[in-house]
Amino acid sequence: MSGNIQLLTETLAAAKAQDRSALIAYLPAGFPTVDGGIAAVKAVLDGGADVVEVGLPHSDPVLDGPVIQTADDIALRGGVRIADVMRTVREAFAATGKPVLVMTYWNPIDRYGVERFTAELAEAGGAGCILPDLPVQESALWREHAEKHGLATVFVVAPSSRDARLAEITAAGSGFVYAASLMGVTGTRESVGEQAADLVRRTRATTDLPVCVGLGVSNAAQAAEVATFADGVIVGSAFVKRILDAPDEAAGLAAVRELAGELARGVQRSRPGA
């Protein structure tokens, strides 16, 4: 199976053709339960997200702030397995036909087996993987298997990345580049700031891949701000928080579907001169 990297590429290109940023949502698998997590992923896609990242819960999530750490802890205590992550990808893709990626730290893939993981992700209809802690110079084995199965390899760049390092990272990646809007961990913030715009500008100078911005976007106004300079707007903690704050699962699904709609309207930037 060739995988769905082409679907991801086409989805991002279609958003660009409509003169808007793509909305990319993040939710961890197994949260609040495996079935509840699948329903939540479907809800954000139905609500207006173009792409979804399914998180593989990890016991030491170095990039993630307290909101996603809380969700990961709930999922891990519920016994979530890699098989449940694959099932989440399979059912979300089958139900919506939209690109679904997995966001994971390297250690679980290394333990599971790179060939096994990439083969199962492709078979489930996954579009690729975001690997925030895999150094490019140590990624050859992963990229070999990802390419074989038609999966995107999305690397994360940060404001601290120097231009030469950006070029090295973007040359090795595929699908899109994940630009971390600021130094630190995931979570909602008051402002996404100028650092992100500068990082996008510097990253674009090294690649033709779409550059999508995450870390800190939590509402439609911030999504609209980021949409003025990024190809995609990535939102995670705000979705997770809606589920954590909901009194029951049905309310949580309604809340994330509503937020997806608000954010989707936020990324609809008007054409110049329109």
197/48 Cα distance (integer angstroms): 24
Asked about 190 being catalytic, the answer comes back as: no
Q: How do beta strands 152-154 and 156-157 pair?
A: unpaired
- What lies within 8 Å, CB to CB, of 42 at 6+ separation is 91, 92, 95, 96
Most distant pair of Cα atoms in the chain: their distance: 53
Q: Which of 35, 46, 53, 110 is catalytic?
A: 53
Q: Which of 19, 46, 64, 73 is catalytic?
A: 64
For residues 93 and 121, the answer to whether their CB atoms sit within 8 Å is no
89/49 Cα distance (integer angstroms): 15
Q: Which residues of 151-173 are buried (b: 16+ CB within 10 A; e: fewer)?
A: bbbbbbbbbebeeeebbbbbeeb
Checking 113-118 for CB contacts under 8 A at 24+ apart, the result is 114/141, 114/142, 114/145, 115/145, 117/82, 118/142, 118/145, 118/146, 118/148, 118/149, 118/151
Asked about 115 being catalytic, the answer comes back as: no
Q: In what side-by-side order are the strands of the sheet with 51-55?
A: 152-154, 128-130, 100-103, 51-55, 22-28, 232-235, 211-214, 177-180, 156-157
> Which DSSP symbol is given to 21?
P
Instruction: Give the residue numbers annotated as catalytic, written as ranges.
Output: 53, 64
